[in-house]
Amino acid sequence: MSITVVGSVAFDSIETPVGRRERCLGGAATYFALAASYFTAVRVIAVVGEDFSAAEEAVFTARGIDLRGLERAAGKSFFWAGNYLENLNEAKTEQTDLNVFSSFNPQIPEAYLDSDFLFLANIDPVLQKRVREAMPQARLVCGDTMNYWINDHRAALVEVLPAMDVLLINDTETRLLSGKQNSVQAARDVLALGPRALVVKHGEYGATAFFEAGAFGENVDARRAFRAPALPLAEVVDPTGAGDSFAGGFFGYIASQPELTRAVFRRAMFYGSVMGSFAVERFGTERLQELSREEIDARFERLRELTHLD
């Protein structure tokens, strides 16, 4: 089984209370792909510029990630700068340079067309829709978005939401999309826009899944919401990519299982939390590059202990 992901591959400059890093490898598709690669085969669709070197490429290939859909264009790669000096749960964006992304027209390699799973990472919703339509065979589609698209490109975003089986966004984005403050009412409003399930990420407080009635048929008991905790960590070095790593663990685990059942959905939420917790322990993608499945499963057990009553 394989997941195809479309999204940003970027250079990030990041400042947190722990320190600063200039131009480290980042991007939503990068974090997603690395996290998901511990569970299943991953294929990337993105664009980079001439500043993307063999060293960055090796981060993907060392994890077996397929880069045949990574276009190399003249110019510079997407660049993002942000800080977490006031709030560790939410980045303050200082600079966004789209660079080669401004004229990105995703090309899907023939070899990707048999992917059963598709992740539409944070990117222009027009492109998300185009990729979904070009990959009609994908059985399960998950996606993400951000405040910029919600505020300034709402019409295009609303067009792609019905194509998503699971939308994964954070609390602020959920409220922004619905206009409501109450989290349950906001979730209902977002589900009414079309996704069959909504996973709201609460940063250091975990994540909650809400379902459209009857979503995923008999297999998933969709009547009730489900909450996965986040692992309490003594030090958060860099929160960048936590949300995309959550999505990678979540979707990667689902793709590795024979079918989507209630238990698989719930475990996927825990694996999402696990991958998010690793992502924040070091700057950039450092920690996600060198994990083992044993470490991942040990942390899964810690989450289970954290929440079980007996």
Q: Figure out which of the listed residues 28, 164, 186, 303 binds ligand AMP, where binding follows CB under 6 A.
A: 28
Name which of 169 and 187 has its Cβ closer to ligand AMP. Answer: 169
8 binds ligand AMP (CB under 6 A): yes
Region binding ligand AMP by CB under 6 A among candidate stretches 25-33, 68-76, 127-135, 189-197: 25-33
> Residue 235's closest CA among 13, 11, 12, 19?
19
Region binding ligand AMP by CB under 6 A among candidate stretches 133-141, 184-192, 206-214, 238-246: 238-246
Region binding ligand AMP by CB under 6 A among candidate stretches 5-13, 180-188, 259-267, 301-309: 5-13
123 binds ligand AMP (CB under 6 A): yes
Name the minimum Å distance from CB 63 to ligand AMP: 17
205 binds ligand AMP (CB under 6 A): no
DSSP string, the chain: -EEEEES--EEEEEEETTEEEEEEEE-HHHHHHHHHTTTSEEEEEEEE-TT--HHHHHHHHTTT-EEEEEEE-SS--EEEEEE-SS-TTSPEEEEEE-GGGGG------GGGTT-SEEEE-SS-HHHHHHHHHH-TT-SEEEE---HHHHHH-HHHHHHHGGG-SEEEEEHHHHHHHH--SSHHHHHHHHHHTS-SEEEEE-GGG-EEEEE-TTTTGGGS-TTS-EEEPPPP-S--S--TTHHHHHHHHHHHHHHTSSS--HHHHHHHHHHHHHHHHHHTTSSTTTGGGS--HHHHHHHHHHHHHHH---
Region binding ligand AMP by CB under 6 A among candidate stretches 55-63, 159-167, 176-184, 234-242: 234-242
Name the minimum Å distance from CB 122 to ligand AMP: 5
Distance CA 118, CA 5 (A): 6
13 binds ligand AMP (CB under 6 A): no
148 binds ligand AMP (CB under 6 A): yes
241 binds ligand AMP (CB under 6 A): yes
Which residues, numbered 41-100, are part of the site for ligand AMP (CB under 6 A)? 80, 96
Region binding ligand AMP by CB under 6 A among candidate stretches 108-116, 236-244, 250-258, 263-271: 236-244
Name which of 118 and 215 has its Cβ closer to ligand AMP. Answer: 118
Q: Figure out which of the listed residues 66, 165, 171, 244 binds ligand AMP, where binding follows CB under 6 A.
A: 244
| Interaction site with ligand AMP (CB under 6 A) | 8, 10, 12, 26-28, 31, 80, 96, 122-123, 148, 240-244
